[in-house]
Structure 1
Amino acid sequence: MAEYQNNQQEYPFVPANRHHRSDAESNTLYSNELKRKKKIKLAIYIAAFAVFQGIVITIFALTVMRVKSPKLRLGNNIRFQNLTTETEQSPSFDMSFTAQVRVKNPNFGPYKFHDTTATFAYDGVTVGEVLIPKSKAGLKSTKKINVAVNLSSRALQSSGTSKLGNELSGGALTLTSKAEMSGKVELMLMMKKKKSAEMDCTITVDVSAKAVRSLQCK
């Protein structure tokens, strides 16, 4: 009987020890599972941030950092101070007017341009020039410059006056104006890129009204 009681006193502790070991193992597995899920979430967050950052950089490169060529144009507000013509013996013209040159900058940085000469021609022959002084067109803005223009047909050869006489008799005079401007676009105060702007305009002058009938620029 004493041996049986001793055995009963020894074995009851075994199940208790086994149950305690099982709880510890469960806690360890649960803890490892939590760590694994946290690592997965962290990896997802990092991947999502990398994708978002890539999208932002791509948009920034395609919009802000993309440098476009500025546009150089003549404004429609041409005002004549003088316009005299001769249509009989020796067809000719002399005129003076004020015009507005517009430099449109589509970039996210200022465009600094150099002195530029704009030429005015009749039938391919230069009849006058005007200087566009160096200046700056701000980011996403248009720089407007007023200039005074004086044109004369004195440079035309006698062979070209017959066409001029026909035009003047018809009451319209067709002129062209061209210029090529050079400068630099400045981005983020550190990157500068050379860009040029070209002007190619056709002006039809109503001689009798002393006004511009039409103005088209490419």
Structure 2
Amino acid sequence: MAEKVNKQMYPSAPTNKQPSRDEESATSLSDQELRKKKRIKLGIYIAAFVVFQVLVITAFSLTVMRVKTPKVRLGTVLLQDVKTGNQTSPSFDISFTTQVRIKNTNFGPFKYESTNATFTYQGVTVGQVSIPKGKVGFRSTKKVTVTVTVNSNALPISTTSTTLGSEMGAEVLTLNSHAKLGGKVELMFVTKKKKAAEMNCTMPIDLSTKAVQLNCD
């Protein structure tokens, strides 16, 4: 009787149950699925990183590494000395000051060679001024102040007697100016591209008010 009570009070310890083959197979499949999901996530991250890098490189190429042609223009023209004839005896001898403005919008300096800015009347050169070689910093504008003298001495008689005579009568003298600055744009201290900045301006001069309406392209 005592033995039966002891057996009821102290039950035997449970034996260790070994996992079945089905359970092992299920665990193995679960591990494979986890590894597969990790590989898929890693592939997605890599693809996203590659696409991001391509977008960054493309944007960099289209902005920073894109070489644009610098622009050169004339600034405000201030007349200093104006001598003109009349409709019967047309002539002019004018001096003025202005600025040659060289604008560089690139992410690198623009180095240009010396050149001349020419001023013409009806296709004939009536004056010119030298622009010394120089350098324009990245995304900046350089201003070169010049003094110019133009006169009608080189004009043929046919031009002075017809076109110039008419403009003297209307008191509006129209000049044109042109300049071409050849040089190189340097990007990131590596890439150098040849560029030429060109200027074409029309300068109608009101002889009565001594004002200049400048138009450049």
TM-score, length-scaled by structure 1: 0.87
1:127-146 map, 5 Å = 127-146=126-145
- One-letter amino acid of the structure 1 residue matched with residue 154 of structure 2: A
Secondary structure of 1:69's partner? coil
Secondary structure of 1:58's partner? helix
Change (3 A) 1:45 1:78: same
**Partner residue, 2:89:** 90
**Partner residue, 2:170:** 170
**Partner residue, 2:10:** none
Deviation at 1:68, TM superposition (A): 1.3
Deviation at 1:30, TM superposition (A): 2.1
Deviation at 1:208, TM superposition (A): 2.1
1:31-46 map, 5 Å = 31-46=31-46
**Partner residue, 2:3:** none
Q: Which runs of 5+ in 2 are unaligned?
A: 1-14
Q: Distance in 2 between matches of 1:36 and 1:156?
A: 87
Q: Distance in 1 between matches of 2:155 and 2:89?
A: 11
Deviation at 1:89, TM superposition (A): 5.5
**Partner residue, 1:182:** 182
Farther off after superposition, 80-89 or 203-212: 80-89
Deviation at 1:139, TM superposition (A): 1.6
Deviation at 1:20, TM superposition (A): 4.6
- One-letter amino acid of the structure 2 residue matched with residue 138 of structure 1: G
Contact residue 87 and residue 169 of structure 2 kept, 8 A: no
Deviation at 1:155, TM superposition (A): 0.6
Deviation at 1:24, TM superposition (A): 3.5
- One-letter amino acid of the structure 1 residue matched with residue 135 of structure 2: K
**Partner residue, 2:65:** 65
Deviation at 1:25, TM superposition (A): 3.3
**Partner residue, 1:208:** 208
Secondary structure of 1:53's partner? helix
Q: Which runs of 5+ in 1 are unaligned?
A: 1-12
Deviation at 1:21, TM superposition (A): 4.3
**Partner residue, 2:6:** none
Identical columns (%): 55
TM-score, length-scaled by structure 2: 0.87
